């Protein structure tokens, strides 16, 4: 067989033909693609984890900020609360306790605010705190008393320091615990005080913001709103007429700052037999000021706002509203003994016994949205305002009012109570019946 024949045989398909390997390049490309995809997935997963951590941090930071905001609102509400409190910040039922504002602040009659403790730390150390369980919805608070007693009224500058608030951690629920700490800071403006609220989230096992994982601080200035913005200048004031005829009504005003006015009326005054005591050297009848246009020309609401500095609805929202419509001295005494000093009566008020309600050093303000009926011999230290068309003192007995009464309408009756304009009551009532409101523009989180 010649060479040509051999070449033909070798070239025939399937006979001794070398099989060449193909696709190696594809394997390399696929491997590279898989590697690139793995890198992309790894970085994408890292980004997701980072975003999860960022979101969790933002969530906790938001919770801490809201806790601080809640603390600010809580502190303002506690300052406006007239009830006595325990060291757990709850309403006290036993004697010997005090109001929140009196526990930490001394509000002088000239509206100057002093602290009842020494707090030289920077920033100021907290004086109250609360812990809230997010899942369970329960909250425990701590309002510790001072380290030593503080005289009221004060006689010396305080030398004691505040005890550290230590609220217990709520056990209900399993979510985050939130805490806020409240501190007071002095303000150079008279009648104001700064509140600092630090909020934080507490992980399991933590009880103080120092061990929390998110924290925020907000602060604001609160200003005082007096329960009686403009005190009346006489023990008996009426927008309408005063008609007592020959009743031996007693009116006394020894205060020279008010010119000794005993009866101030927007209408006529018929008080021929009134027992009048005024500042020395002033004729008694000259202290009966009738037909006063500043009273007569006002509407009912205008008269109210001229004394209280706000509308009736606004004042009612800041007052303790008695849970009755035909209220009696029993309801009033219960409210006063519970610490209420700014009281709204949503109906009539009848005092038909001889209790002593209020003192010159601790008086109260009462707005009666209805009739006032007095009989017997009570002794009351207060400013009482009636919205009734007529204040009828018939059967007033031997009642003694230290302070002032104001009638939105007329005053009439044959009763013989004594109305004594007590400057001490007027001075103290501006600090005992008082609310706090946030000063616009004072809020900040830095």
HSE on the CB side for 283, CA within 13 Å? 4
CA 72/CA 249 separation, integer angstroms: 49
pLDDT at 72: 96
HSE on the CB side for 196, CA within 13 Å? 14
CA 349/CA 364 separation, integer angstroms: 15
∠ CA 233-302-81, rounded to 5°: 75
Q: What is the Cα gyration radius of the chain?
A: 38
Domain boundaries, the chain: 60-226, 236-434
Q: Is the peptide bond before 153 cis (omega within 30 degrees of 0)?
A: yes
Are β-strands 98-99 and 84-85 bridged in parallel, bridged antiparallel, or unpaired?
antiparallel
Count of CB atoms situated within 10 Å of the CB of 172: 10
Count of CB atoms situated within 10 Å of the CB of 369: 19
Task: Label residue 414 exposed, middle or buried (CB < 10 Å: 0-12, 13-18, 19+).
Answer: middle
Could you tell me what percent of the chain has a pLDDT over 90? Answer: 42
Which DSSP state fits 91? B
Report, as an integer, the average pLDDT of 381-397. 84
pLDDT at 377: 87
Identify whether the C-beta of residue 123 lies closer than 8 Å to the C-beta of residue 79. no
Res 348 pLDDT > 70:
yes
More confident residue, 18 or 308: 308
257 to 41, 253, 281, 282, 286: CA distances (angstroms): 85, 10, 14, 13, 16
Res 157 pLDDT > 50:
no
127 to 12, 66, 75, 166: CA distances (angstroms): 104, 20, 11, 10
**Least confident interval from 30-34, 213-217, 351-355:** 30-34
- 3-class DSSP state for residue 378? coil
**Least confident interval from 134-148, 250-264, 276-290:** 134-148
CA 359/CA 265 separation, integer angstroms: 27
pLDDT at 43: 73
Give the residue from 375, 360, 366 showing the smallest Cα distance to 341. 366
pLDDT tens digits for 177-211? 889 999 998 888 888 899 999 999 887 767 788 76
pLDDT tens digits for 221-257? 999 888 888 899 999 999 999 999 888 999 999 999 9
Count of CB atoms situated within 10 Å of the CB of 278: 24
More confident residue, 277 or 84: 277
In the chain, count H helices and then E strands.
8, 29
Three state DSSP letters for 221-288: EEEEEECCCCCCCCCEEECCCEEEECCCCEEECCCHHHCCCCEEECCCEEECCCEEECCCCCCHHHHE
Count of CB atoms situated within 10 Å of the CB of 142: 20
Report, as an integer, the average pLDDT of 418-439. 85
pLDDT tens digits for 368-387? 999 998 888 899 999 999 99
HSE on the CB side for 246, CA within 13 Å? 0
pTM check: above 0.75: no
């Amino acid at each position: 067989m010649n060479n040509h024949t051999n070449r033909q045989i070798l070239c025939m398909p399937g006979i001794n033909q070398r099989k060449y390997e193909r696709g190696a390049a594809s394997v390399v490309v696929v491997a590279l693609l898989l590697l690139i995809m793995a890198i992309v997935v790894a970085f994408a997963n890292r980004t997701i984890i980072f975003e999860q951590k960022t979101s969790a941090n933002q969530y906790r930071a938001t919770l801490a900020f809201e806790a601080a905001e809640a603390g600010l609102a809580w502190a303002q509400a506690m300052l406006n609360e007239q009830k006595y409190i325990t060291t757990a910040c709850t309403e006290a039922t036993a004697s010997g306790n005090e109001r929140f504002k009196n526990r930490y602040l001394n509000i002088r009659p000239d509206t100057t605010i002093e602290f009842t403790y020494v707090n030289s730390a920077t920033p100021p150390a907290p004086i109250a705190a609360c812990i809230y369980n997010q899942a369970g919805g329960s909250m425990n608070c701590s309002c510790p008393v001072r380290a030593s007693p503080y005289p009221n009224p004060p006689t010396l500058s305080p030398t004691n320091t505040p005890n550290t608030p230590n609220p217990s951690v709520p056990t209900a629920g399993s979510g985050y615990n939130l805490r806020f700490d409240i501190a007071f800071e002095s303000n150079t403006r008279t009648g104001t005080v700064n509140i600092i609220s630090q909020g934080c989230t507490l992980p399991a096992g933590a009880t103080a913001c120092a061990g929390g994982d998110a924290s925020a601080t907000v602060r604001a200035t609160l200003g005082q709103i007096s329960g009686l913005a403009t005190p009346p200048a006489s023990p008996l004031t009426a927008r309408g007429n005063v008609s007592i005829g020959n009743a031996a009504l007693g009116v006394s005003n020894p205060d020279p700052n008010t010119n000794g006015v005993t009866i101030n009326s927007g209408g006529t005054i018929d008080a021929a037999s009134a027992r009048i005591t005024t500042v020395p050297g002033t004729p008694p009848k000259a202290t009966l000021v009738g037909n006063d246009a500043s009273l007569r020309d006002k509407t009912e609401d205008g008269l109210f706002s001229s004394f209280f500095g706000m509308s009736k609805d606004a004042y009612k929202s800041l007052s303790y509203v008695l849970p009755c419509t035909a209220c009696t001295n029993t309801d009033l005494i219960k409210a006063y003994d519970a610490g209420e000093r700014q009281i709204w009566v949503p109906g009539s008020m009848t005092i038909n016994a001889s209790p002593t309600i209020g003192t010159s050093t601790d008086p109260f303000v009462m707005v009666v949205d209805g009739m006032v009926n007095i009989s017997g011999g009570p002794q009351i230290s207060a400013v009482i305002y009636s919205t009734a068309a007529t204040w009828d003192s018939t059967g007033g007995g031997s009642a003694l009012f230290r302070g002032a009464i104001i009638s939105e309408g007329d005053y009439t009756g044959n009763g013989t109570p004594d109305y004594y304009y007590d400057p001490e009551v007027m001075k103290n009532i501006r600090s005992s019946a008082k609310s706090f409101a946030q000063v616009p523009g004072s809020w900040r989180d830095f």
